[in-house]
């Protein structure tokens, strides 16, 4: 079990990681979700012991390991760049952590062989990393990380530098690789879809703070705060300030709809994800007038950026819906699926899950 107890990282005058407490159980797949510079890598380095927290403690398996250097912990890490020893063969690369650990030659051969089999790079064992494709190089790096039976495996955006098709493939395989292990796996990503695909637990990071932590599906449907919802929405979540009074909620003077009964009167920030805003009317949807900025039409989806309520709104829908840039248009927001956030940003009611939180 990995426990972060109130850890803080300060570099000069900047607070890179605000006081953070997290508990990761063995055998779980944990995701750190956040944009670039949200603090994912720093947090991982703190977990690994590559960096020392300015304040707070790191506990592993009930032992305080704060300040224990990384080589004395049983940790592996995979990076976004494909990190392998350039002039060693793939076999020697995978074997390197075992050799440092003084495992005997027969055992090394067996374990490296098995790992290469699992990673489907058995045919490449004699080659050097530079002779492999990007995907194979990253498989080699992962094999190196997995071969040594670590207690903690950290994966820092390992699929980010792979091309789309390979990424899809590895996304399918990854959870299977960790399925039977009794270690803590932490996986950093910038992509909400990747987090949803892997499931497990997700910690949403924003500017060095963990803004939300819980089972992935749950924090997607019920983010703790507006910031949490923003981290966990791609394309970005649409927001508008609204006032509830009586049975009616009105936003920006132009938009009003019937309020959910369980909502108290007052000011709210309403958040609605892009796929709940569509170019066609549905039952219970509310018309939103705006000016089209860009319409990105891929084969099966339309992403439409438009100006509404003085902000940038995005609509994501199935099918191809051509819109002309600069034109006035009406899109329809399914307000039954929106989030209501209090003025301080905390979630009051989620339309994506039954009941409030």
Partner 1 sequence: MNKTENQKAWFLVLPVLVLVAFNAIVPLMTVVNYSVQETFGNNVFFWSGISWFEDVLRSPRFHAALGRQLTFTFTILAIEVPLGVLIALAMPRKGIWVSVCLVLMAMPLLIPWNVVGAMWNIFALPEIGLLGNALNALGFDYNYTRQPGDAWFTLILMDVWHWTSLVVLLAYAGLVSIPDAYYQAAKIDGASSWAIFRFIQLPKMKRVLTIAILLRFMDSFNIYTEPSVLTGGGPGNSTTLLSIDLVKIALGQFDLGPAAAMSLVYFLVVLLMSWIFYTVMTRDDEANQ
Interface residues toward partner 1, by CB under 8 A: 45, 48, 50, 69-71, 75-77, 79-81, 83, 85-88, 96-97, 100-101, 128, 130-131
Least distance between partner 1 and beta carbon 121 (Å): 17
In angstroms, the CA 32 to CA 49 distance is: 17
Nearer to partner 1, 74 or 207 (CB): 74
Nearer to partner 1, 17 or 295 (CB): 17
Q: Give the 3-state secondary structure of residue 9.
A: strand
Measure the CA dihedral 183/188/194/195, to 10°: 70
Least distance between partner 1 and beta carbon 260 (Å): 49
Least distance between partner 1 and beta carbon 144 (Å): 8
Least distance between partner 1 and beta carbon 113 (Å): 20
Burial of 182 (0-12, 13-18, 19+ CB in 10 A): exposed
Least distance between partner 1 and beta carbon 76 (Å): 6
Tokens linked to 40? 């994912």
Q: Where are the alpha helices (DSSP H) in the chain?
A: 40-48, 90-100, 105-119, 134-146, 164-179, 192-198, 216-221, 226-231
Q: Which residue, chain included where needed, has tokens 């990076």?
A: 79
| Cα end-to-end span (Å), the chain | 28
Q: Which residues contact 173 (CB under 8 A, 6 or more apart)?
A: none
Which residues on adjacent β-strands are paired with residue 4?
Answer: 22, 58
Nearer to partner 1, 131 or 163 (CB): 131
Q: Are 194 and 166 in contact (CB under 8 A)?
A: no
CA distances from 283 to 191, 230, 238, 334 (A): 31, 26, 20, 8
Least distance between partner 1 and beta carbon 104 (Å): 18
In angstroms, the CA 83 to CA 96 distance is: 13
Least distance between partner 1 and beta carbon 167 (Å): 19
Least distance between partner 1 and beta carbon 95 (Å): 11
Nearer to partner 1, 88 or 348 (CB): 88
Nearer to partner 1, 48 or 335 (CB): 48
Nearer to partner 1, 79 or 232 (CB): 79
Residue 234 CA neighbour count, 13 Å, CB half: 13
Nearer to partner 1, 45 or 285 (CB): 45
Nearer to partner 1, 30 or 76 (CB): 76
In angstroms, the CA 211 to CA 316 distance is: 25
């Amino acid at each position: 079990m990995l426990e972060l107890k109130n850890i803080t990282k300060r570099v000069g005058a900047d607070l890179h990681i605000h006081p953070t407490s997290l508990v990761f159980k063995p055998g779980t797949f944990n995701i750190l979700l956040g944009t670039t510079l949200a603090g994912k890598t720093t947090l991982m380095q703190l977990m690994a012991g590559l960096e020392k927290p300015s304040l707070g403690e790191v506990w592993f398996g009930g032992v305080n390991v704060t300040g224990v250097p990384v080589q004395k912990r049983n940790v592996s890490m995979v990076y976004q760049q494909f990190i392998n020893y350039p002039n060693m063969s793939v076999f020697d690369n995978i074997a390197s952590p075992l050799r440092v650990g003084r495992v005997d030659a027969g055992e090394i051969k067996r374990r490296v062989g098995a790992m290469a089999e699992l990673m489907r790079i058995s045919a490449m064992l004699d080659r050097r990393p530079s002779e492999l494709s990007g995907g194979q190089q990253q498989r080699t790096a992962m094999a190196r990380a997995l071969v040594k039976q670590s207690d903690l495996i950290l994966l820092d955006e390992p699929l980010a530098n792979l091309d789309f098709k390979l990424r899809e493939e590895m996304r399918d395989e990854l959870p299977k690789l960790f399925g039977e292990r009794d270690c803590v796996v932490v996986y950093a990503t910038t992509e909400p879809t990747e987090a949803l695909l892997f499931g497990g637990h997700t910690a949403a990071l924003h500017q060095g703070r963990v803004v939300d932590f819980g089972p992935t599906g749950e924090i997607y449907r019920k983010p703790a705060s507006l910031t949490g919802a923003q981290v966990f929405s791609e394309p970005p979540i649409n927001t508008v300030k609204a006032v509830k009074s009586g049975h009616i909620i009105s936003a920006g003077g132009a938009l009003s709809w019937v309020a959910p009964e369980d909502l108290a009167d007052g000011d709210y920030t309403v958040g609605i994800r892009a796929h709940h805003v569509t170019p066609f009317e549905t039952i219970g949807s509310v018309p939103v007038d705006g000016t089209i900025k860009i319409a990105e039409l891929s084969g099966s989806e339309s992403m439409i950026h438009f100006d509404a309520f003085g902000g940038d709104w995005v609509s994501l829908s199935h099918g191809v819906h051509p819109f002309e840039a600069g034109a006035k248009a009406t899109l329809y927001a399914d307000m039954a699926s929106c989030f209501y956030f209090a003025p301080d940003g905390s979630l009051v009611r989620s339309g994506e899950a039954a009941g409030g939180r």
